[in-house]
Amino acid sequence: MYANVRGTQLYFDVEGAGMKVCDHGLEPKPVLLLLHGGPGGDHASFRGAMAALADTVQLIYLDHRGSGRSQPCDPATYTLDENIDDVAALCQYLGLRRVSILGQSYGGIVAQGVAIRYPDLVSNLILSATAPSYRTLDQAKAKVAERGTPEQQRVCQWLFDGTFQSQEQLYEFYRLMGPWYSTTFDAQRFEVSWRQGIRNFEQLNLGFAGFLRTFDFTEQLASIRCPTLVLAGRHDWICPVEQSYILSERIPRAQLKVFEHSAHSIAADENAAYVAAVRGFMTYPAA
């Protein structure tokens, strides 16, 4: 499905009914909007991993502008600011006055921005394997320099410099760095997920060569009023656990859960525990 908002078409999909049957009739389920990573990824990584939540919440998957199945548009608009405003516009398009948001990785950065810029929109916030500022890149670079193989250091340089030239290079990066993204990395499963997803390396370049080098929500985190769950993988390399400590310490109503056996892809590494944490948090009283 497509929403025509802010001069572009955003692709979104819905999983789970909006109402549930109760003794007194029907009542609405909470809505959980899921924001994918990247920049330049798509929502496919949420499929399967989050489907079990559909009995508790109505899931809305979104592909950021120009990403996945959303319409290509002016690359000059492929920015964090535009992604933040797109979320608010989509909620207005769907008639959602209050919504819970789960942001994974870059999606978590977007989610922070939405909660800061549109505080009345966000009822509950889940920040998964993400960071509040550009400083996460310095930590990631240090980890790669310290223990990456020569091949891993080579492909990570494409990421950090924002210089991917082809989908083949992007594939090589994710294949070589797969065991760093997931403690349960499996080569065959990776091939399947690669075919299922749509990835835009040009958007990834724009982010890592541009706004991801300067974004900083650190001092604004205290303004986030809604209940917030921060999820971190102990072995995350791109958004190290120290970044989640900052989030949980600076957001007033935040709680932190660290998954000891996970890297960046927590939902893949410890799926049952991840889903249980999200499900439990979604029963938490909203702001």
> In angstroms, rounded to a whole number, what is the distance separating the alpha carbons of residues 272 and 268?
9
What average pLDDT is seen over the chain?
95
3-state SS class at 38: coil
Per-residue pLDDT at 283 exceeds 90: no
- Give 191-211 pLDDT, tens digit per residue: 999 999 999 999 999 999 999
> What integer pLDDT is reported at residue 207 of this predicted model?
98
Mean pLDDT over 169-185 rounds to 98
Per-residue pLDDT at 287 exceeds 60: no
User: Can you list the domains of the chain with their CATH numbers?
Assistant: 2-134+215-281 (3.40.50.1820)
- Give 140-166 pLDDT, tens digit per residue: 999 999 999 999 999 999 999 999 999
What pTM, to 2 d.p., does this model score? Answer: 0.96
> What integer pLDDT is reported at residue 284 of this predicted model?
64
Distance of CA 83 to the CA centre of its chain: 12
> What integer pLDDT is reported at residue 216 of this predicted model?
98
Per-residue pLDDT at 74 exceeds 70: yes
For 184, the token pair is 């349960």
Range 114-124 burial, b when 16+ CB lie within 10 A, else e: bbbbeeebbbb
> In angstroms, rounded to a whole number, what is the distance separating the alpha carbons of residues 100 and 89?
15
Q: Closest Cα to residue 181, out of 209, 206, 152, 161?
A: 152
Taking each helix axis from N to C terminus, what angle separates 135-147 and 150-161, rounded to the nearest 10 degrees?
A: 160
> What integer pLDDT is reported at residue 286 of this predicted model?
53
- Give 19-69 pLDDT, tens digit per residue: 777 767 778 889 999 999 999 999 998 998 898 999 889 999 999 999 999
Mean pLDDT over 242-247 rounds to 98
Output the CA angle 94-98-99, nearest 5 degrees. 80
**Is 232:269 a contact under the CB 8 Å cutoff?**
no
What is the DSSP-derived secondary structure letter of residue 29?
P
- The continuous run of DSSP H or E covering 101 comes out as strand 99-104
119-122 CB contacts, 8 Å cutoff, 24+ apart: 119/223, 119/224, 119/225, 119/226, 121/88, 121/91, 121/96, 121/97, 122/98, 122/226, 122/287
Output the CA angle 221-180-148, nearest 5 degrees. 105
Which pLDDT band holds residue 171 (cuts at 50, 70, 90)? Answer: very high
- Give 77-105 pLDDT, tens digit per residue: 999 999 999 999 999 999 999 999 999 99
